[in-house]
Amino acid sequence: MSNNSHLNIVILAAGQGTRMKSSLPKVLHTLAGLPLVQHVINTSKKLKPEIINVVYGHGGEQVQQQINDPDINWVLQAEQLGTGHAVDQVTDQLKNEQLVLILYGDVPLIKNETLIKLLDQAKDGFSLLTMNLDNPQGYGRIVRNTNGLVENITEEKDASEEIKEIKEVNTGILAVKASLLKGWLSQLDNSNAQKEYYLTDVIAMAVKDNFTVHTTQPDNEYEVMGVNNRLQLSELERYYQQEQANKLMTDGITLADPTRIDIRGEIIHGQDISIDINTVFEGNVSIGNNVSIGANCVIKNSKIADGVVILPMSILDNASVGKGSKVGPFARLRPGAVLSENTHIGNFVEIKKSFIGLGSKVNHLTYVGDSLVGKNVNIGAGTITCNYDGANKHQTIIEDNVFIGSATQLVAPVKIGKNVTIGAGSTITMDVADDELVTTRVKQKSIRGWKRPVKNKK
């Protein structure tokens, strides 16, 4: 195990990201629902560093506001004069005993395991993360001597034809002792094709000072791929999603199609779960055993207990579904919907901030909001809890074994006692005592021989 108590992480995020063609700073564009730079911050935190610095430039305030993390030390690079110049802005934050790890706000999928390997190799001075590419175009090339030791990094724009042939490239990610880095940064100049202060120039300095520059490579190319435009962003999103899907399947979940699931957060789950196509998971979702989730659902920050069936086209947002319940198709569970065991919530039913008791059924075209519903209640089609008076929300209480006829309005605040039966089409404005039958509709009237109006002749 590496000891990271002296780790200083520097995340470069000052670039403008012109090719995104966006008013949003590049590092705030999202991958799997999180800003790019947030992925890098999350991975950084797993290493338990002493400090995380984020070097910002363009759209800096917006980035700080959005990320809003007191653990980050924000460092301004007012002018983008190169990667070496960017790291130099952090010099004041570098303590001699620290190991510095350089990461990039637009390289979101770097893995913890890869960084641990890199840090282990940096103990005697310097280590670089490199990669072999069939098409190395655009990258800095790793130039090695006849003994195979790293000699320098040459940027594409400064490279001879011979050097351009080299397939091993610089990913930009590196780890170096702070004491050494500080000395080398102060010697950087910008006498190169781009008139930039290249961080990569410190490699040749290290070699000159007789340090061996170690190299290590990531297991997957996508770990070091950066986002410069929206095409690359979508490519990385797919790598990320593919990996999530593979993990779910390895862990015992059946996916109808692993290319048609999106996970923007985390799923905690049991076994024997099957998930049909096109479902989106957001935030923290937990799923018990023997659960089936139909096609085209959106499930966000919700709990789904054992044996639940979620039918297609259902939306769950901060909801909890009890054991053996059945939801959908076309159901919408909004924040605070808590379903007890063996409930049925059917099509075009919306439940908000309400508890639905054991075995109760709300099967068709209904709105239940701010309500407490007891056990074995049957709520007929087209029932509405009128919870809003235009200014305030009010509660509806429906006790055990109530039967509500279709097209009923319950004008809250109102309480329906145990075993009550409400006739179809009623508008209930007053509390109803236990065991009563209540109806409010006008008695049916008939007019014999009724003639419908006819159109006037012109």
- Candidate residues 10, 67, 199, 207; the one interacting with ligand UD1 per rule CB under 6 A: 199
- Candidate residues 106, 276, 317, 350; the one interacting with ligand UD1 per rule CB under 6 A: 106
**Applying CB under 6 A, does 153 fall inside the site for ligand UD1?**
yes
- State how far the Cα of 212 lies from the Cα of 311, in Å rounded to an integer: 60
Q: Kindly name the residue from 6, 214, 344, 364 that is annotated as catalytic.
A: 364
Site string for ligand UD1, 203-242 (x = CB under 6 A): -----------------------x----------------
Short-list 282, 280, 243, CA closest to 260: 280
Give min distance, CB of 17 to ligand UD1, in A. Answer: 7
Q: Which is nearer to ligand UD1, 129 or 299 (CB)?
A: 129
- The residues pairing with 126 across neighbouring beta strands, listed in sequence order, are 176, 213
Q: Which is nearer to ligand UD1, 232 or 290 (CB)?
A: 232
Site string for ligand UD1, 385-414 (x = CB under 6 A): ------------------------------
Short-list 189, 219, 185, 214, CA closest to 202: 185
Give min distance, CB of 178 to ligand UD1, in A. Answer: 18
Give min distance, CB of 79 to ligand UD1, in A. Answer: 8
Q: Is 364 a catalytic residue?
A: yes
Three-class SS state of 46: helix
- Candidate residues 25, 108, 125, 140; the one interacting with ligand UD1 per rule CB under 6 A: 140
- Candidate residues 7, 8, 9, 15; the one interacting with ligand UD1 per rule CB under 6 A: 15
**Applying CB under 6 A, does 154 fall inside the site for ligand UD1?**
no
Angle (CA) 167 172 177, round 5°: 120
Q: Which is nearer to ligand UD1, 166 or 287 (CB)?
A: 166
Short-list 270, 337, 273, CA closest to 300: 337
Contact 65/54 with Cβ under 8 angstroms? Answer: no
Q: 340-365: string of b/e by CB count within 10 Å (b at 16+)?
A: bbbbbbbbbbbbbbbbbbbbbbbbeb
Using DSSP bridges, classify how beta strands 320-321 and 309-310 pair: parallel, antiparallel or unpaired.
unpaired
Q: Which is nearer to ligand UD1, 188 or 287 (CB)?
A: 188
**Applying CB under 6 A, does 170 fall inside the site for ligand UD1?**
yes
Q: Which of residues 65-104 bind ligand UD1 (CB under 6 A)?
A: 77, 80-83, 85-86, 104
**Applying CB under 6 A, does 14 fall inside the site for ligand UD1?**
yes
Q: Is the peptide bond before 329 cis (omega within 30 degrees of 0)?
A: yes
- State how far the Cα of 266 lies from the Cα of 10, in Å rounded to an integer: 26
| Residue 69: how many other CB atoms lie within 10 Å | 13
- State how far the Cα of 329 lies from the Cα of 276, in Å rounded to an integer: 13
Give min distance, CB of 219 to ligand UD1, in A. Answer: 18
Which pair of tokens denotes residue 50? 């002493």
Short-list 334, 332, 326, CA closest to 313: 332
Q: Which is nearer to ligand UD1, 184 or 198 (CB)?
A: 198
Q: What sign for the dihedral angle of Cα 246, 247, 248, 249?
A: positive
**Applying CB under 6 A, does 13 fall inside the site for ligand UD1?**
yes
Q: Which is nearer to ligand UD1, 167 or 441 (CB)?
A: 167
Which are the catalytic amino acids? Answer: 364
Residues interacting with ligand UD1, by CB under 6 A? 12-15, 55, 77, 80-83, 85-86, 104-106, 139-140, 153, 155, 169-172, 198-200, 226
